[in-house]
Amino acid sequence: MAEQKIDLKNLKAGGFIKERGKDLFTVRLRVPGGRLSVDRLSKIAEVAQKYGKGFVHLSVRQSIELININFNDFDAVVAELGEEQQKVASCGARVRVPTACGGCEYNPNGLVDTQKSALEVDQKLFGTATGHHKFKVCFAGCPFDCPKSAINDVGFQGAVWPKLDADGCISCGLCAKSCTEGALSMGADKKPVFDADKCIYCGDCIKVCPTGAWSAEKKGYTVRIGGKWGRRPLVGTLYATFVPEERVVDFIAVVLAWYQEKAEGAGRVRLGDIIIREGWQSLLERLRGDFPEYVVRETIAPQIIQTQLPLTGRQA
């Protein structure tokens, strides 16, 4: 082997992506949850100016990518970014950097601390080799679902289950008016009537209640599994509700282990396609072992999105 000119350990988790030009790479940076300090941002700008093309690219998964980095500069780029604790991200068949919305500290819609979850997953699972294909995780703070949880391999969405203190209710009707799902109506006794079958756990009733009569009985994440975008998109389907924030990493680890095992020998194939092949029951039962109180009774297969390609019966 030739004399080692660059530290190959830097390449281990991926994140260095070959460009068209000779010797040139895109360097994808690790920005869990899409949040970074201004100091880190300044350092990234400095490194991009010194070694890059003069611009950066914001990836659709909340990374900053340095463009036109010469491979001879890998070590210097990694070292200089490291001065502000900025690390390189991943690519390939690995657990990717989790994405997340702004979270709950300042976003009035937030139900759970998505930023905290994203950081925890990044710290504990980032770069884990799947053996098969990429593995994407995201955290949405509420059912608005800005991060698009259903098109991730495992997508989490903040959820609350409301409970009413009828004595504290002043019969203003704001909760029923605010419930766009039609899960709340005002009864003959001028108290809200809750139709649990229509509730999507958004917590709007709790937020709007002027007296605090509505509160959260339980809180956590709704989990959809098996989604992806790309050539053959799939929408992930519901596997669990109200998974506590502190059990997120364990939950993903079970899904990952099932995927690694069931896709053995299948090559480069995403989780959703393995679920279709194996049947959703298999993964649901595996999860039931560790999360009996949270997994749903049954689910459906990942939903295929018809993209209309290929066009059949005629030339493009």
Partner 1 sequence: MQSIDLRGVSCPTNFVMAKLELEDIEAGTTVEFLLDDGEPVKNVPRSLKDEGHKLLGLQEREGYYVLTLEKGED
How far, in Å, CA of 308 to CA of 310, rounded? 6
> Minimal distance in Å, beta carbon 226 to partner 1?
22
Q: Which of 245, 35, 229 is nearest to 121 (CA)?
A: 245
Rule CB under 8 A: is residue 311 a binding residue for partner 1? no
- The residue (of 15 and 220) whose beta carbon lies closer to partner 1 is 15
> Minimal distance in Å, beta carbon 2 to partner 1?
5
Rule CB under 8 A: is residue 93 a binding residue for partner 1? yes
Report 114-153 residues binding partner 1 (CB under 8 A).
Answer: 129
> Minimal distance in Å, beta carbon 65 to partner 1?
14
3-state secondary structure of 62: coil
Pairing of strands 137-140, 234-235: unpaired
Rule CB under 8 A: is residue 230 a binding residue for partner 1? no
Contact predicate 64/80, CB 8 Å? no
Task: Using CB under 8 A, pick the residue from 18, 50, 198, 232 that binds partner 1.
Answer: 18
Report 235-274 residues binding partner 1 (CB under 8 A).
Answer: 267-268
DSSP 11-49: GTT--EEE-SSTTEEEEEB--GGG---HHHHHHHHHHHH
Task: Using CB under 8 A, pick the residue from 71, 144, 229, 242 that binds partner 1.
Answer: 71
Q: Which of 35, 64, 222 is nearest to 140 (CA)?
A: 222
Pairing of strands 137-140, 154-164: parallel
Q: Tokens representing 119?
A: 């950081």
Rule CB under 8 A: is residue 316 a binding residue for partner 1? no
Rule CB under 8 A: is residue 218 a binding residue for partner 1? no
> Minimal distance in Å, beta carbon 70 to partner 1?
11
Rule CB under 8 A: is residue 67 a binding residue for partner 1? no
Task: Using CB under 8 A, pick the residue from 59, 92, 186, 229 that binds partner 1.
Answer: 92
> To 5 degrees, how large is the angle CA 221–CA 226–CA 228?
105
> To 5 degrees, how large is the angle CA 40–CA 12–CA 152?
75
Task: Using CB under 8 A, pick the residue from 12, 190, 232, 277 that binds partner 1.
Answer: 12
In the complex, which residues of this chain contact partner 1 (CB under 8 A)?
1-6, 8, 11-12, 14, 16-18, 20, 22-23, 25, 71, 91-93, 129, 267-268
